[in-house]
Copies of this chain bind each other. A is one copy, B any other.
Amino acid sequence: MSATLRVLPLGGVGEIGKNMTVVEYDGRMVIVDCGLRFPTAEMMGIDLVLPDFTYVRENIEKLEAIVITHGHEDHLGALPWVIRDLGQDKIPVVYSGQLTIAMARSKLDEHKLRDVPLEVLPIGDTVDAGPFEIERIHLTHSIPDSSGIALKTPLGTILFTGDYKFDQTPVGGAPADMARLAELGKEGVLLLCGDSTNVDRAGVSDSESIVGPHLDRVFARCPARIVVTCFASNIHRVQQVVHAAEKNGRKVALVGRSMRKNVNIGRSLGHIDIPEGMLVTPREIDQFADEKIVIISTGSQGEPLSALRRMAYRDHPQVELKSGDTVVFSATPIPGNERAVNETIDRLYHIGCEVVTARDAPIHASGHGYAEEVKMMINLTRPKYVMPVHGDYKRMLIHSQLAQAVGIPASNIFRTENGLPLEIDAEGARFGKAVQAGMIFVDGVDIGDVSDVALRDRRMLSGDGIFIIVATISEQDGSSVVPPEVLARGVPFLEGNSAFIGELREAVEDSLDGAAEQQITEVDVLQSHLHDDLAKFIYDRLKRRPMVLPVVVEV
């Protein structure tokens, strides 16, 4: 009983995305969620951003289970990368709901990780993982099969909400299980780790089911083709688009790889019902009259290679949009994607399409509860301690204020940072000693850490390009054996400027002469000498600082 409970977020606090939390008790460990972030523009060429899970690697023998709240990338997406790194044999079991497990399996398959024990933990069941008893609690969110995770320990219960809203009329499923939350609250929740995404919005979020009738109305006044774009994982949104299409006597085509994949998984598990004969393939679209078809497409965030973006730039192999068609954005841009979304919309206007967004009609509902729902979660579960998660500092701060507003003492609210554990024992709760945390990058097939010099080099290369100078000198006396080679890449406006390359070559010769006078013979020193001379010459002439890479070859 004297053991300490440690709750250690490795991602998702003080930031949005890559959610991952380690819970330890009595020398054993459970991980809740394993998500990723998408890189920002400054992370040049980086494919994905993962939480730094060094702590997990170093404590892997403690691992009892990984539990996933739901199937979104920011909660599930890092799983294959983490497992590949840790080794499949080190993972005792991954628990989640049926859809989430199916999505996890599909991801792990792509990484040829076929030996990971994935187990469906049905709502209402519990399972033991070392000193933890794990239970999933049904909640509502913008993907089916979302759940909170209760971890019962001898010290008390920790409840992770995952992402949630209290949707009283969700589509294709039950409302959030308020009764079970209340029961947990009565039994006593020691710590609530709650979603902060929409704490800054007053009131209560719209129900998902308001969207359908509005889509229906929008469709009713469309004279030609309709394209609806939404998140591919938002199966219930797709369901509502299908219903609205059916009501308007239109067939439905799914366009975009992830859209087809998610709807297929969703259909096979009964989360979406598409009536017989409603679905046509992208190739068949042209066989139907314009007013008889709805295309459901990826690309709601303006993603460069997405189906909708390609349609907007008249570059999609199956779908050619034209004046009079309507494109419906049943999603809002995630911060940072506004420009890409605006560009897509403007191309659509250029084609002559009508564009309908969530500003024009209530055709989108957020998957995250607003302030009143966050307060309700706390009131239902009556936790002793609160730890805001899934949010930047601003949202974690507002979450804390909401918790205080419903009676949680400020001293029982813990805003932490990635890597900073909360430690709870019979005496109380306090922050423990910070461990390594931060981000690691996926680049191609490899993962590695941010301190790598490569990113700095990429920024330099992208900003100003590179000059490569190859000087071939005699091993005997250091004299130039053949004229130096000068190459440039990513340096603009050189084409009509062969004079500059000539002068640069002369500068190389001058620098080599200078080195000879100073009796510089060692290759490293000579390269450094060349670098300094040429970087200065280039800056003086171009007012830019491209990378300058001298290669000295001794023959």
Contacts and interface: CB of A to CB of B under 8 A. Distances in A.
Interface of A: 14, 40-41, 44-45, 335-336, 338-339, 342, 345-347, 349-350, 355, 392-394, 397, 441, 443-448, 452-455, 457-459, 461-466, 468, 470, 472, 481-482, 485, 487, 489-495, 542-544, 547, 549, 551, 553-555
Contacts of A457: 465, 489-490
Contact of A40 (B339, B463, B482): B339
A492 B342 contact: no
Nearest to A483: B553
A189 to B, nearest CB: 27
B493 A448 contact: yes
Nearest to A489: B457
Q: Do most interface residues of chain A lie in helix, strand or loop, or is the interface mixed?
A: mixed
Nearest to A468: B468
Tallying the copies of this chain within the complex gives 2
Contacts of A349: 392-394, 397
Given A40-B339, A349-B397, A458-B490, 5 more contacts: A446-B492, A454-B492, A459-B462, A461-B461, A461-B490
A447 B543 CA distance: 12
A239 to B, nearest CB: 30
Contact of A350 (B14, B444, B445, B462): B14
A507 to B, nearest CB: 18
Contacts of A544: 443-444
A472 B553 contact: yes
Contacts of A462: 44-45, 458-459, 461-462
Given A457-B490, A482-B554, A493-B452, A342 B350 contact: no
A491 B454 contact: yes
B458 A461 contact: yes
Contact of A441 (B355, B461, B492): B492
A472 B471 CA distance: 11
A324 to B, nearest CB: 14
A554 B481 CA distance: 10
Contact of A482 (B336, B453, B494, B553): B553
Given A454-B490, A458-B465, A461-B489, A394 B45 contact: no
B489 A549 contact: yes
B444 A487 contact: no
A457 B464 CA distance: 10
Count chain B CB atoms within 10 A of each CB in A349, A485, A553 and give the residue with the most.
A553
A342 to B, nearest CB: 6
Contact of A472 (B444, B472, B495): B472
Contacts of A463: 44-45, 458
A457 to B, nearest CB: 4
Nearest to A441: B492
A553 B489 contact: no
Nearest to A46: B492
Contacts of A554: 482
